[in-house]
Structure 1
């Protein structure tokens, strides 16, 4: 059997390197930035007021006190987008609003609640320190400063910072087109009526959501029955950077994925993990194909271990780390295979998400898990207090 690490290396060798495209900021949410965003100019571009109040010359009010307040003549107003055109002369003040440019000659702002004012004059009863309540030009960023680094997954705060830098579009990695199909004559869409031997189909719902969460452009190929020719036709018709299949990849008499894709160049073999042992990997007409088992928990595990890293590789995103955590209770492991256990993660450690272990069919219990724990292939059990590698779900 191939190890999980060996299988992952083979998966990553199939997929393309990141590709790039420029998109407007309005279309960049969730995309991966491919080039640094730097400030085109100073941010803010001019000295501006942090308060509603009065722009003054500090020297004029240096001796002001409650006993001997200083009166200043109000000679105009500076508002955001409507700066005062003149200069503040000795003995004068300018009414100023938050965000408005500080007029020439002024070197401090006095908040309006600290003065007594009329339309034409203001009475100041305390000194104003140099630079008080003034946001300096370039205080946030100087021209050329790094604002958003390449590799960032763009969130609203990143887009706001880019817009403040004067940027209207950004270079991002192209979202990989990932197609998927599920197989099985026994599958019924959620909400339908189950017949004898049938089950509700969940893998398509999971894959569509997981691939979108990972940043891929999702291409559903639908549910294909138990005919190898239909599987092959669906894969050949896909316009995608990667195709993911579920089910029909084992050694049974009704394994349509293996039947249809093995002659076309996909290699099917066992991987030493539990769940997720039967898998396939290769190219069909140049299209990379990853074939996963059909049981829902195995699909979720294999997406986290193999499909998600492939998507991140095409996006240019680093792989999240697995962290050591202590087991809060013990459980059994399959000998000779690395176990990947859905777990509940707490501050003090981890415990299995279900009493049924890592059974590949326990999909209803999967929602209780926060992530996965990996147990070495040479272990046949985990004891309370043992250290396991843990990572929260990434999809």
Structure 2
């Protein structure tokens, strides 16, 4: 393995660290889950829709099922006698043979066996044609995309009760903080779960031997450690990775998140996040999220491009994470490089400012990636 661990205090470039983590990484095998457990997971390939939905023309309103040609010229001033007794249908019912429209109840007058129409209709009025909801041969789900309520609606409508998804196993190792806080580990677990991972969490003491003992305790697709990546007397995470021969880099040119470490245990990538929430938040989005996206087989994430409401300044040499909020038709910068909990809570999106850039001027269109579902 081509180790990129820095020496003499040098920082590993973000691009180099991420490229080595992604090298050789492929999407995990699909698993089948009930539709009730599939929301937000990433869909895998599924068979195409076998039969059109609906299978036959259906009424979309309660009313009279008729043939549009029989209504030509009809109006309230000039009713048109119908050739036969009209048939009443409820919304959702299949249309009788030969009918191509449904009109409302008060547009037909019935006098014993005789009936007359008081309005015209065009073919397709008041109905849903066969295959108009979902055509046969279309994908039952869109692979590589997170399953939304609308995706699950279609899956149920075409008769599915289970669905294939890709959901990588993430082992989260919470290296116990000195004050006993679990805020950062819970943040990472929430973020990874929302990204489609199956997260198992273990809390371990701040000792290198204890950490090495749980690194490969059970099979997984990605290992994320939280805490103990600094240079304090009780920080042992990096030493543990080194003892196992798993360390690739310690010290990433990223702000916040400089003490992040990366590694690999056999084929399993490892990211060790700092214990501070803002630093872990930053390193998660720039390093862990791309790994989960690759493991899930997720389609490329698309940011939202809007002009900056005011300039962003950044130092040369470090990739800096900026948080922004959408105001009117632009991005308003909230914080760059130093992120408070309030900034994280108020932000709508994040963006990375490359290490070679001094920032962006006001009015410049920039791509930011949403932090919320809507």
For the structure 1 residues 23 and 120, does the alpha-carbon distance in structure 2 shift closer, same or farther, using more than 3 Å as the test? farther
Structure 2 equivalent of residue 217 of structure 1: 198
For the structure 1 residues 51 and 19, does the alpha-carbon distance in structure 2 shift closer, same or farther, using more than 3 Å as the test? same
Mapping of residues 86-97 of structure 1, within 5 Å: 90-97=83-90
Cα distance in 1 for partners of 2:168, 2:200 equals: 10
Deviations 1:287-325 (A, max 9, x none): 432112222211001000000111111100134245665
Cα distance in 2 for partners of 1:391, 1:310 equals: 16
Cα distance in 2 for partners of 1:121, 1:276 equals: 81
Cα distance in 2 for partners of 1:68, 1:329 equals: 66
Deviation, 1:211, is 0.9
Mapping of residues 75-90 of structure 1, within 5 Å: 90=83
- Provide the secondary structure at the position in 2 that maps to 1:158: helix
Structure 1 equivalent of residue 238 of structure 2: 258
For the structure 1 residues 269 and 394, does the alpha-carbon distance in structure 2 shift closer, same or farther, using more than 3 Å as the test? farther
Alignment of 1:243 with 2:253, yes or no, is: no
Runs of 5+ unmatched residues, structure 1: 73-89, 190-200
Deviations 1:341-393 (A, max 9, x none): 23334345444424xx5236x33442232332322323456654566653333
For the structure 1 residues 148 and 121, does the alpha-carbon distance in structure 2 shift closer, same or farther, using more than 3 Å as the test? farther
- Provide the secondary structure at the position in 2 that maps to 1:373: strand
Deviation, 1:230, is 1.6
Alignment of 1:4 with 2:10, yes or no, is: no
Structure number with greater Rg is: 1
Mapping of residues 81-120 of structure 1, within 5 Å: 90-117=83-110
For the structure 1 residues 247 and 58, does the alpha-carbon distance in structure 2 shift closer, same or farther, using more than 3 Å as the test? closer
- Out of 263, 273, 293, the residue aligned to residue 282 of structure 1 is 263
Cα distance in 2 for partners of 1:14, 1:253 equals: 35
For the structure 1 residues 253 and 91, does the alpha-carbon distance in structure 2 shift closer, same or farther, using more than 3 Å as the test? closer
Alignment of 1:390 with 2:371, yes or no, is: no
Cα distance in 2 for partners of 1:368, 1:11 equals: 31
Cα distance in 2 for partners of 1:146, 1:263 equals: 48
Runs of 5+ unmatched residues, structure 2: 1-10
Q: Kindly report the root-mean-square deviation, in angstroms, between the aligned alpha carbons of the 2 structures.
A: 3.1
Mapping of residues 45-60 of structure 1, within 5 Å: 45-58=55-68, 60=70
Q: Do 1:49 and 1:98's aligned partners in 2 also have CA atoms closer than 8 Å?
A: yes
Cα distance in 2 for partners of 1:343, 1:309 equals: 20
For the structure 1 residues 282 and 120, does the alpha-carbon distance in structure 2 shift closer, same or farther, using more than 3 Å as the test? same
Deviation, 1:178, is 0.8
Deviation, 1:114, is 1.2
Deviations 1:197-253 (A, max 9, x none): xxxx4201211111111111111112x332111211232324422111122223443
Q: Do 2:252 and 2:261's aligned partners in 1 also have CA atoms closer than 8 Å?
A: no
Mapping of residues 34-183 of structure 1, within 5 Å: 34-36=44-46, 38-58=48-68, 60-62=70-72, 64=74, 66=76, 69-70=79-80, 90-117=83-110, 122-173=115-166, 175-183=167-175
Cα distance in 1 for partners of 2:125, 2:304 equals: 48
Deviation, 1:6, is 1.0
Structure 2 equivalent of residue 377 of structure 1: 355
- Out of 284, 291, 297, the residue aligned to residue 310 of structure 1 is 291
TM-score under structure 2 length normalisation: 0.83
Cα distance in 2 for partners of 1:106, 1:16 equals: 53
- Provide the secondary structure at the position in 1 that maps to 2:53: coil
Q: Do 1:7 and 1:271's aligned partners in 2 also have CA atoms closer than 8 Å?
A: yes
Cα distance in 2 for partners of 1:368, 1:153 equals: 24
Deviation, 1:11, is 1.6
Q: Do 1:248 and 1:256's aligned partners in 2 also have CA atoms closer than 8 Å?
A: yes
